[in-house]
Structure 1
């Protein structure tokens, strides 16, 4: 991807040099911290003493686990991600304007190990995610190493696909799709809820393809092989492939993101036309 001369977004919050305790305050102590304070109060001990001890322990842990400064690779990752995010901003601002709507830029939060979001406390194992409550994307950049080394999805455009997919969820949130789907899921059986979630995820894949179309046709940022990198990444995170790798068999009723073939197909659908209207996975007869 030809990204080094691209515009860089200011909508990045880099928390990678901030320890877990300082990110979430007492939230990182969670309910356990509150219980300790209540127990102390019950036995006549000043709860402030307990809270101070917990805070000191968390601060020490933060100092141990948080890097003092970002490495050169960390800095380059941030620069790359800021360009990708900026490109998605340019694409969706224009598409929303054409539809008579206003696009609100999301924030991208970079973290290391764990993070506190408006959707709850999350660890790196959660993977990249979007929180509609605060309209932020969350990413531990170590995920890219796993994507490349464990899942075999190499290349910078594979990483760009990941960001574009999460931005796709932001688009769904702004359009009201995400809220409607979540509401419908609450009224549905577990199997039906999973099926709705699959369609939500596949639409985000399609929106990632829509972005890639405009990134190429309007700014010519793609290099030979980039589209293949994105398709390979989409296939690598298919439910069937991940379940087969993890447990040796697949359970289709438990799918939440779609198969490798479905994820690749919907990215290609968006990339082929560049029109968000083709991404109506909810009325598609076949996924």
Structure 2
């Protein structure tokens, strides 16, 4: 039985091929109302990657979350081979659960080429090293004394070590003073192997874990009682450079706008040297919970 959370993540991303273009993914039994969106995105990207040939890494994905998935129920991923060109490969993936489409993803793969030129804006701030920061679990324990049972279970199964660059805010006064920004250091809690597709799909999984924090930060404590029901609506990623998801990466996140019950968040993922690895954009739905 796999007990290491990183190994469980790799196992979760190891889909069963049931036809040439059809794959089946597990959906763990969780005490959640819906399947975690990062899981569906990561598994769909695995399905797309399994139908490509040659050394063509993913360079972008665009996805829509259409319906909430049910935990504990397998998800079938149907891949359409849209294009196999000399430089680019395009795949469209439909995720189906109990006969209903819950998710759509289009992914593009690019044959590596020598760059005619390169440039990059530097990170917006000089961030502290991850080793100097407490884990999110330690921060919550410091504030609450001990973790609630649900959080304790989640912490044991968490495949990523998450460390917030700014201390978590716990009071209404602290929240009101906050800008809609959040930054975290992350890495898988154990080795993920050497398959670049696994690292790409693992990072797709991780990219959905904290991105909408930036929308919530000026509204409510991130780890306090929720006042909103939150659902991811769509998700887009651009992969600029190779990386390992089991090495520290910085996820710098901001929300330029929240209106009409929707909040937009943008993320930039850097390695420790400040190289931009991935760009992310996501929109989420925020509906106030009934009191």
TM-score (norm 2): 0.24
* Higher share of residues assigned strand: 2
* Higher share of residues assigned helix: 1
Larger Rg: 1
